[in-house]
């Protein structure tokens, strides 16, 4: 038993809460056989985008010959993480990042109004949501975050075809965690676990993302150990 106080599930439910990005393959689960209908077993098939629901983008998403999901160590998806509250109703700005005391390699997760309003888990795409500004993305790189997360299915503002925030982070080797739900997760320090599927050459993958909240004693102990908090 790990000495954690609580596990926060920050994933959205596929097929109910998840949001299909316009133009992407929508998530669907097709029932091929059903016991309730006289079948020997329940059996279903899935159709989805690599960016369906809560998911990680790797550099290959925007970079030619960029690093793919399978070329990471599993430990790269188990990280110390800082959850930060963002009040700005439009975007995460660099000012919100500048003053943070981020440890090198820590994940940075932004909890915006997308979580409180339910926009991040309402099942349909909305053009109005809090995004990550390119300047804030640059500030995250300067802070040497290893992963940046936002509580919406994309970090870009709607209709932006330059994908500057994606490019800035991925070019610097910073993973992007999109489609998380941070409602009911207080700002603070956690251990993030977000394991992708083991897929060859994938530029992204759905993940089950959780935050482990530690007891104060375990937190202090992890700090003095200075590395992985598991």
Per-residue contact flags (x/-) with Zn ion for residues 156 to 185, judged by CB under 5 A = ----------------------x-------
We find the least distance from the C-beta atom of residue 121 to Zn ion, in angstroms, to be: 16
Query: Beta-carbon neighbour count of residue 226 at 10 Å?
Result: 8
Give the interface segment with Zn ion, choosing from 27-35, 49-57, 98-106, 207-215 (CB under 5 A): 49-57
- What one-character-per-residue DSSP string does 1-69 give? ---EEEEEE-PPPTTTT--PPTTSPPPEEEEEE-GGGT-SS-EEEEE--TTSSSEEE-GGGTSTTPPPG
Q: Considering the candidates 51, 55, 61, 166, report the single residue annotated as catalytic.
A: 61
Q: Is the dihedral of CA 205, 207, 213, 219 positive or negative?
A: negative
The verdict on 131 binding Zn ion (CB under 5 A) reads no
**Which member of 57, 106, 151, 213 binds Zn ion (CB under 5 A)?**
57
The answer to whether residue 184 is catalytic is: no
Identify whether the C-beta of residue 74 lies closer than 8 Å to the C-beta of residue 194.
Answer: no
Identify whether the C-beta of residue 44 lies closer than 8 Å to the C-beta of residue 29.
Answer: yes
The verdict on 51 binding Zn ion (CB under 5 A) reads yes
Binding positions for Zn ion, 192-211, rule CB under 5 A: none
Per-residue contact flags (x/-) with Zn ion for residues 87 to 126, judged by CB under 5 A = ----------------------------------------
CA angle 196, 199, 200 (to 5 degrees): 140
In this chain, which residue has its C-beta nearest to Zn ion?
51
Pick between residue 151 and residue 178 the one whose CB is nearest to Zn ion: 178
Identify whether the C-beta of residue 122 lies closer than 8 Å to the C-beta of residue 19.
Answer: yes
Q: Which residues sit at the interface with Zn ion, rule CB under 5 A?
A: 51, 57, 178
As annotated, the active-site residues are: 61
């Amino acid at each position: 038993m790990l000495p954690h106080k609580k596990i926060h599930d920050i994933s959205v439910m596929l097929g109910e809460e998840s949001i299909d990005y316009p133009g992407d393959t929508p998530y669907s689960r097709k029932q091929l056989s059903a016991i309730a209908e006289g079948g020997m077993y329940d059996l279903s098939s899935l159709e989805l985008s690599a960016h369906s629901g809560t998911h990680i983008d790797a550099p290959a998403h925007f970079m030619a010959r960029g690093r793919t999901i399978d070329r990471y160590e599993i430990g790269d998806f188990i990280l110390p993480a800082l959850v930060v509250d963002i009040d700005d109703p439009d975007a995460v700005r660099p000012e919100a990042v500048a003053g943070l005391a981020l440890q090198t390699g820590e994940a940075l997760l932004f909890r915006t109004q997308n979580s409180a309003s339910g926009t991040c888990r309402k099942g349909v795409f909305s053009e109005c949501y809090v995004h990550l500004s390119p300047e804030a993305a640059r500030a995250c790189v300067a802070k040497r975050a290893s992963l940046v997360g936002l509580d919406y299915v994309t970090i870009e503002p709607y209709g932006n075809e330059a994908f500057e925030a994606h490019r800035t982070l991925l070019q610097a080797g910073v993973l992007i965690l999109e489609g998380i739900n941070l409602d009911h997760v207080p700002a603070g320090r956690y251990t993030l676990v977000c394991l992708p599927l083991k897929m060859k050459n994938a530029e992204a993958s759905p993940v089950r993302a959780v935050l482990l909240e530690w007891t104060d004693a375990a937190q202090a102990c992890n700090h003095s150990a200075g590395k992985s908090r598991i």
